[in-house]
Amino acid sequence: MAALQGRHKQTALNSFFEADMERVFDVKESPEGETSPDAKTKKIEGDAPGDCIDLTQDSPASSSKGNTAETKRKPSEKEDSKLSLITWNVDGLDIEELPERARGLWSYLDSYTPDVVFLQELIPPYVKFLKKRAVSYTLIEGGDKGYFTGMMLKKSRVNLLQSEIVTYPTTQMMRNLLVAQVNFKGQNLCLMTSHFESGKSSAEERMKQLQLVMQRMTEAPDDITVVFGGDTNLRDTEVAKVGLPSGVGDVWERLGKREHCCYTWDTKYNDNKTVSFLARCRFDRIYFRPAAREGVPRLAPDNMALLGLERRDCGRYTSDHWGIYCTFSAG
């Protein structure tokens, strides 16, 4: 049955991508570095979770009252020494207002200038858009057909050593693990992103994928810090069944389980998807395993915030998922 469902999903996706998706991004772009009025975000009072819209605190893009996520400022020396990361399922499969939503993603990347970006549900036209805009990043693709993951590395701060795509043997949804070995300020890091199997019925496959990720994290050399982030679709009960190995931590948990950063797929506030039920889920997660070897800097998470909580001018959010911004400092 699972295999049959997988074939049906694949057939539907193939039909979807037979359409001319280039037209979706066939819009007049602003000159590089400029922000046109239609590319600005607007905040609707009372429209998003009050606890979540906290971009004025502990935010690199909001150093004073009144700043928005699109206001740039020079990072302090302390911030410059940190590793900054964004992970986001951009929902490229939803083509409604996709160009405007893609510009929404870019406004955050351009403002926060993260060292590392993990993206899920990319499609080829979206990648083309990012390559045009994000010239200061190395972009690694986890596929080239249908939908897939991607990783962006800031060229001036993160040096790519090698990358690989690890196949999930029994996936029915074209899912895999994208892995990159990099060097950040003299530290060796292993970066990983993935989009785990979706849906309640895929719990067993999802747990297999989590097990594979945990195995890769624990088997990494002890002089390397490993960071995984992505749309895991995990439920807490599934994580409890698999268990996290010793040394591997959940960033949200390590930072005190802050409620305002908990729900990354939240139909209570995000109405990009029309659903008849209320769902508040922590699908998007970041796991890390610090280097253990003596004398090697040990990165530790020190901040987390949700992104994408403002509506675009088109009336929709950047994605049906909130993005996660996280920073790591060396201990």
What pLDDT does residue 73 have? 53
The total of structural domains in the chain comes to 1
Residue 75 lies in a domain: no
Residue 53 lies in a domain: no
Strand-pairing partners, residue 306, are 324
CATH of the domain at 139: 3.60.10.10
Whether pLDDT at 222 is above 50: yes
Residue 226 lies in a domain: yes
What pLDDT does residue 211 have? 98
Alpha-carbon distance values, 73 to 54, 60, 326 (Å): 18, 8, 18
Distance from CA of residue 304 to its chain's centroid? 13
Q: How far apart are CA 166 and CA 230, in angstroms?
A: 15
What pLDDT does residue 55 have? 28
pLDDT single digits (tens) 180-206: 999 999 999 999 999 999 999 999 999
Between 240 and 16, the more confident residue is 240
Residue 57 lies in a domain: no
Residue 25 lies in a domain: no
* pLDDT (average), residues 66-78: 51
Other C-beta atoms within 10 Å of 235: how many?
A: 16
Distance from CA of residue 194 to its chain's centroid? 9
Domain that holds residue 321: 80-330
Catalytic annotation, residues:
231
Residue 150 lies in a domain: yes
- Under the banding of pLDDT at 50, 70 and 90, the label for residue 139 is very high
DSSP state of 199: S
Residue 69 lies in a domain: no
pLDDT single digits (tens) 228-243: 999 999 999 999 999 9
User: Parallel, antiparallel, or unpaired for β 187-195 and 225-231?
Assistant: parallel
